[in-house]
Chains A and B, each alone.
Chain A
Amino acid sequence: MILCKVIGSIVSTIKHDSYRNKKIMLVRPISPDGKFKSGTMVAIDTVRAGEGDTVLVMSEGRSTMDILELKNREPLRSIIVGVVDRIDTISSQLKK
Chain B
Amino acid sequence: MKLGRIQGKVWATVKDPKLNNCTLYILQPVDEDENPIGMAQVAVDTVSSREGDLVYWVGGAEATFPFPDRQIPSDVTIVGLVDRLDLRKQ
Q: Is the CB of B56 within 8 A of A75?
A: no
Count contacts between A and B, CB distance < 8 Å: 102
Interface size range of chain B in the complex? 20 to 34
- Kindly state whether residue A52 has any CB partner on chain B within 8 Å: yes
- Kindly state whether residue A94 has any CB partner on chain B within 8 Å: no
In the bound complex, CA of A13 to CA of B2 (Å): 17
Q: Is the CB of A77 within 8 A of B80?
A: no
- Tell me the minimal C-beta distance from A41 to chain B in angstroms: 6
- Kindly state whether residue A72 has any CB partner on chain B within 8 Å: yes
Beta-carbon nearest neighbor of A61 in chain B: B62
Most A CB contacts (10 A, CB to CB) among B49, B60, B80, B87 go to B80
